[in-house]
Amino acid sequence: MFEKVLIANRGEIALRIHRACREMGIQTVAVHSTADADAMHVRLADESVCIGPASARESYLNIPAILSAASITNVDAIHPGIGFLSENAQFAEMVEEHGFTFIGPTPEHIRIMGDKVTAKKTVMEQGLPVVPGSDGPVSTLEEAEKVAHETGYPVLIKAAAGGGGKGMKVARNPDQLKEAYQLARGEARAAFGNDEVYLEKYLGRPRHIEIQLLGDTHGACVHFGERDCSVQRRHQKVIEEAPSPALNAEQREYIGALAAKTAAAIGYRGVGTMEFLFEDGQFYFIEMNTRLQVEHTITEMITGIDLVREQIRVAAGAPLGYGQSDIRFEGHAIECRVNAENPETFIPSPGKIDGYHAPGGLGVRVDSALYDGYRVPSHYDSLIAKLVVHGTTRNECLMRLRRSIEEYVIGGIQTTLPLHDRIIAQQAFIDGNYDIHWLEQLMAKS
Ligand code: ADP
């Protein structure tokens, strides 16, 4: 097992990884920008190295600075966390070339899944259903028009290198397609330096269902069930729950087993997530994330398994040591992503925390690096806390979530807690009856 791990990230996820390492007896090295000198992950780590100024490009995305920090502190492995360099195949390669272990999949798997066109092709070959659309990238407007005509409107133009909902545009007719095609390419070029796009049928009322996977380096691969991440704004997840209220036992078993079989067939190692849209009883693969996900917490709550620990174990070469039938599911879990934003306009609200009280009690987990007096910097993602609640039943979980939101005090800045409070009070949410467009429709009403 590793003796020392460098955590190439910040905020709640850096803390989350630090916690897993501590429990495994592994020492931690935090890296941070000048804006994060007082951050909790820096305070708790055994050692810390400042890797650059506030701008992420010069710090958390600065590969030479991170590798130098790893050399100076003599670590065995690097955990990339979520976002930043976590899906950068070149970084994974360089980490290994410098003699450290990359806690994640092989650079090859990152590369295959990072290009969504190749990803779709790869899983299709293994028999996974995908959203109908173009066979590969569409490189001219004429080609896009042809595919859209065949697929039928509405269609969605998506960036091959996409992530975070960027470079994604809907077109409902040929006129809109002209504009959407150019817009999507422009946005993809700006966001990813790659303007390759492809086309998919735009589904009208699907749910977002994803399967948590874990493979070891000895060919074993299991799944940890599904998460329903259909409560979204601008294609970004807001609330996630597990299990999904939309699936029956047979559908659950089918998609979990199929995803695990596919991951095993391609020799996937580490944690990963296959994302699907689910409509009228059909699953359609959309992408695979080759890293830990923000919402891994709800899977941990219903399985009792520490996924970061498992991720570190398999990266160190350990065999899984258990099979699919050993994974048991208990109760229900919901996660609310709490952002430092105005809950109505979503304008970021960085600043100093003045008064902080996190909820607690049975079944309540708060993953956050906040503390009273901490200054939320303006330079990074606005996610500041994940409120995760577990209950024996979905109803118990909802009641517990309601009282946890009530208890949660984050003073000094605006947060999206009031939005969560509003969402979970809606009858459609209580009934588990929502799709990926539901939240935006709800917000448009007010
Ligand atoms: P990203 O990598 O940018 O997050 P995804 O492919 O994972 O992009 O899609 C993000 C979200 O966009 C999905 O959860 C879903 O809400 C929506 N979406 C993606 N593809 C489709 C589609 N074909 N039809 C309708 N909605 C879609």
Tell me the whole-structure pTM to 2 decimals. Answer: 0.97
Show Cβ contacts of residue 58 under 8 Å, excluding neighbours closer than 6 positions. 33, 52, 65
- Of 369, 339, 344, 347, nearest in space to 356 by CA: 369
pLDDT digits (tens, 9 = 90+) for 240-272: 999 999 999 999 999 999 999 999 999 999 999
| Alpha-carbon span 137 to 215, nearest angstrom | 29
Residue 166 is predicted with a pLDDT of: 87
Beta carbons within 10 angstroms of residue 143's beta carbon? 15
Least confident of 164-173, 402-411, 415-424: 164-173
| Alpha-carbon span 59 to 417, nearest angstrom | 30
Show the DSSP H helices in 74-202 as ranges: 89-97, 107-114, 116-125, 141-151, 174-192
> CA-CA-CA-CA torsion for 65, 66, 72, 78, nearest 10 degrees?
-170
Mutate to test the pocket of ligand 1, among 157, 436, 438 (most ligand atoms within 8 A of CB): 436
Ligand 1, CB cutoff 6 Å, lining residues: 131, 156, 162-165, 200-203, 206, 208, 232, 235, 275, 277, 286-287, 436
- Of 290, 270, 314, 346, nearest in space to 118 by CA: 290
How much of the chain, in percent, has pLDDT values that exceed 90? Answer: 98
Residue 172 pLDDT > 90, yes or no? yes
Biggest distance spanned by C-alpha atoms of the chain: 60
Residue 167 is predicted with a pLDDT of: 86
Cis status of the peptide bond prior to 174, with omega within 30 of 0:
no
User: How confident is the prediction for the chain on average, in pLDDT?
Assistant: 97
Residue 293 is predicted with a pLDDT of: 98
Residue 164 is predicted with a pLDDT of: 84
Segment 204-229 shows an average pLDDT of 98
**Ligand 1 atom at shortest distance from the alpha carbon of 284:** 23
Residue 207 pLDDT > 80, yes or no? yes
Segment 82-105 shows an average pLDDT of 98
Please give the C-alpha separations between residue 415 and each of 17, 311, 446, in angstroms, as whole numbers.
24, 31, 19
- Domain 4-102: top CATH class: alpha beta
By the 8 A CB rule, do 393 and 329 touch? no
| Alpha-carbon span 194 to 38, nearest angstrom | 36
Please give the C-alpha separations between residue 89 and each of 80, 113, 148, in angstroms, as whole numbers.
11, 10, 32
Residue 162 structure tokens: 């996409």
pLDDT digits (tens, 9 = 90+) for 306-350: 999 999 999 999 999 999 999 999 999 999 999 999 999 999 999
| Alpha-carbon span 228 to 53, nearest angstrom | 37
**Residue nearest atom 21 of ligand 1, based on CA coordinates:** 202
DSSP H/E element including 252 = helix 249-265
227 is catalytic: no
Domain coordinates of the chain in residue numbers?
4-102, 132-201, 207-444
pLDDT digits (tens, 9 = 90+) for 101-114: 999 999 999 999 99
Show Cβ contacts of residue 108 under 8 Å, excluding neighbours closer than 6 positions. 89
Show Cβ contacts of residue 344 under 8 Å, excluding neighbours closer than 6 positions. 419
| Alpha-carbon span 292 to 313, nearest angstrom | 14
Residue 435 pLDDT > 80, yes or no? yes
By the 8 A CB rule, do 318 and 392 touch? no
Residue 165 pLDDT > 90, yes or no? no
Segment 195-220 shows an average pLDDT of 97
Residue 91 is predicted with a pLDDT of: 98
By the 8 A CB rule, do 94 and 63 touch? yes
Helix (H, G, I), strand (E, B) or coil at 297: helix
Ligand 1 mean position, distance from CA 151 (Å): 17
| DSSP code of residue 141 | H
**Active-site residue, from 252, 291, 313, 337:** 291
Residue 446: pLDDT band (50, 70, 90) is confident
Residue 278 pLDDT > 90, yes or no? yes
Ligand 1 mean position, distance from CA 278 (Å): 11
**Residue nearest atom 1 of ligand 1, based on CA coordinates:** 163
Ligand 1 mean position, distance from CA 235 (Å): 6
Homologous superfamily (CATH) for 132-201: ATP-grasp fold, A domain (3.30.1490.20)
Helix (H, G, I), strand (E, B) or coil at 286: strand
Residue 56 is predicted with a pLDDT of: 97
Segment 77-98 shows an average pLDDT of 98
Judge: domain 207-444, CATH 3.30.470.20: yes
Ligand 1 mean position, distance from CA 356 (Å): 35
Helix (H, G, I), strand (E, B) or coil at 288: strand
Residue 163 is predicted with a pLDDT of: 87
Mutate to test the pocket of ligand 1, among 277, 291, 293 (most ligand atoms within 8 A of CB): 277
Beta strands in 263-377 (DSSP E): 270-279, 282-289, 332-339, 351-352, 356-357, 364-368, 375-376
Ligand 1 mean position, distance from CA 286 (Å): 7
Segment 161-179 shows an average pLDDT of 93
| Alpha-carbon span 279 to 246, nearest angstrom | 10
Residue 69: pLDDT band (50, 70, 90) is very high
